Amino acid sequence: MEALTRRGYTVQPFKVGPDFIDPTHHSAICRRVSRNLDAFMMGENGVVETFRRASAGAEIAVIEGVMGMYDGVDGGDFASTAHVMRILSAPALLVADARGMSRSVHALVKGFLEFEPGMRIGGVVFNRIGSPRHRELIDCGRTAPAIGYLPRTPGLEIESRHLGLAMAHETAPSAGLGELMEEHCDIDQVIRIAGEAPFLPRSDAEEQKGSARARIGIARDEAFCFYYQDNLDLLERSGARLVPFSPLRDDFPEVDAVYIGGGYPELYAAALESSSCRDRIAKATSDGMPVYAECGGLLYLCESLETDRTHRMAGVLPADAWMTEKVQALGYSDGDWSGGPTLAPLSGRILGHEFHYSQVECRQDARFAISLTRGRGIASGKDGLYAGESLAAYTHAYFPASFASSLVEAASAYRRA
């Protein structure tokens, strides 16, 4: 992406799967918002529609895969990188880790090339080359087109933690990354391979915002930074004016509803506890303001969050949360709305993803708005804990239109009241 932008191309980035972190790096490099392409959450038509709509005005699109090329849901192919390739008829570059191998890497590459007939792999990038001699040894037995040989280069690693890589705003840009690609990869050939993709007509769906009927605050800072751009766009098309604010630093904005995404509240629990926003959100919810929260936002709305010590949170929901050392849920979630506050649709399906290292213990009279058929949720397949007009879930949902409309309408009703 950086090499192409350095050449002056307008690059539209994408990420296969339900990933919030890698797209921040894409967006920083390309200066266009990276989009997720996930066949489980979006459906095949949704993948095509998002790709078409987001690519408007771009000269080339680069899609980062997820896991291994053929790794999909439950060990199958569905929602894999290969599945998205087929949906879009997109050619691929296979990145092969050559560390500790020479001729054996070709057996690995051959397996990928022949595993599923009809896949269009335009060439191979051999990664983590140890020396010029290592490259020569690999080149001897090569059968697939080599697009590049990337040497192991200290300083290009991105640090990781319990939910994956560090976010783009937390890391300094890797100096010289674009130059490294130009030196060791055939970027001209990459462009030619991209040109083999078939033409996709421009989307008929315009990125138009609906006339604003309500103001929805979007909690966005270091603590709350996990959002699907398609969800935000859908809220705007449904009649919301989005108002970003920081629960860590800002005063509570003049809004009619609040959406609190996931992120890392556990890393900023002390600051969230002392921030004026905490009490203001609690007051707003007691007045009936609709609030929707996901994962990290769920922890924030609980009465307390235990990390190195116990921190007071907003106290909107009848529950306490604590961090654990092991992952508690990881995978897709699938469920149905089964009641709840007015911001929840009366019925319908909700699809999303769970990934967290926390647990939530609810009071005995806790009420839930989502019944899951797949995923853990908050308790025994129940998700969407709610109190009054506030609702929070472990599910990072990919919004259906019905939910976006319900949230905007609930905000509009609060505004009128």
pLDDT digits (tens, 9 = 90+) for 194-225: 999 988 776 555 556 668 899 999 999 999 99
Same domain, 190 and 220: no
Q: What is the pLDDT of residue 208?
A: 63
Element housing 177 (H / E): helix 177-184
Radius of gyration from C-alpha coordinates of the chain: 23
In a domain, 323, yes or no: yes
Say which CATH number the domain at 151 has.
Answer: 3.40.50
Same domain, 153 and 271: no
Same domain, 363 and 239: yes
DSSP string of 135-148, one letter each residue: HHHHHHT--SPEEE
In a domain, 205, yes or no: no
- 337 or 143: which carries more pLDDT confidence? 337
How far out from the chain centre does Cα 62 lie? 16
Same domain, 275 and 395: yes
Active site residues per annotation = 295
Specify the number of domains making up the chain: 2
In a domain, 152, yes or no: yes
State the CB neighbour count (10 A cutoff) for residue 322: 16
In a domain, 209, yes or no: no
Same domain, 116 and 173: yes
Q: What is the pLDDT of residue 161?
A: 64
Same domain, 189 and 265: no
Compute the C-alpha angle 110/148/193, nearest 5°.
Answer: 75
Q: What is the pLDDT of residue 144?
A: 87
Burial 178-209 (b: 16+ CB within 10 A, else e): bebbeebbbbebbeebbeebeeeeebeeeeee
Q: What is the pLDDT of residue 71?
A: 94
pLDDT of 165 > 90? The answer is no
pLDDT of 359 > 70? The answer is yes
CA atoms within 13 A on the CB side of 138: 30
Domain hosting 169: range is 2-194
Same domain, 39 and 108: yes
Same domain, 8 and 111: yes
Q: What is the pLDDT of residue 162?
A: 66
Q: What rounded mean pLDDT belongs to the chain? A: 92
Q: Average pLDDT, stretch 284-308? A: 96
- 169 or 7: which carries more pLDDT confidence? 7
In a domain, 204, yes or no: no
pLDDT of 74 > 70? The answer is yes
Residue 3 binned pLDDT confidence (cut-offs 50, 70, 90): very high
Residue 173 binned pLDDT confidence (cut-offs 50, 70, 90): low
Alpha-carbon gap, residue 243 to 260, rounded angstroms: 12
pTM above 0.75, yes or no: yes
